[in-house]
Amino acid sequence: MTHQTVSYAATELLDRCPAPVGEPGSACPIESALGVLRKRWAAPVVLELLHGPRGFTELARSMPALSEKVLTDRLAELVRGGVVHRSRRPGWPPRVGYRLTERGRALAPVLHALWTWGSNAPD
């Protein structure tokens, strides 16, 4: 991509990222945002939680192609990223509930934009 084809908004974003182009790092907000969704199944988990709080079993049943180990890993990563809040539900056996944080709910328009962009991909 040449600089002539980059829009003003894109060049402004490039100017704001402290790392030189070609060396993305955690200091770049775009890389930080993509880091949350980069792993496989992260976006579908967030999409499922946009419908409201869910227990682990509910999440697992809603995504049958996803193994419990991968679901556990993605949820832990999303919790660490501040996207999902994990809470223990009272009772026996111990149950855990998951809900999106405000930061997680803010991903809704981002995921919508990614869906739209991906839907318009060339064949």
pLDDT of residue 7: 54
Looking at the predicted structure, is the pLDDT value of residue 32 above 90? no
List of domains in the chain:
1-38 (no CATH), 41-123 (1.10.10.10)
pLDDT for 109 equals: 94
**Cβ neighbourhood burial of 39 (10 Å; 0-12, 13-18, 19+):** middle
More confident residue, 101 or 13: 101
- Enter the pTM of the model: 0.77
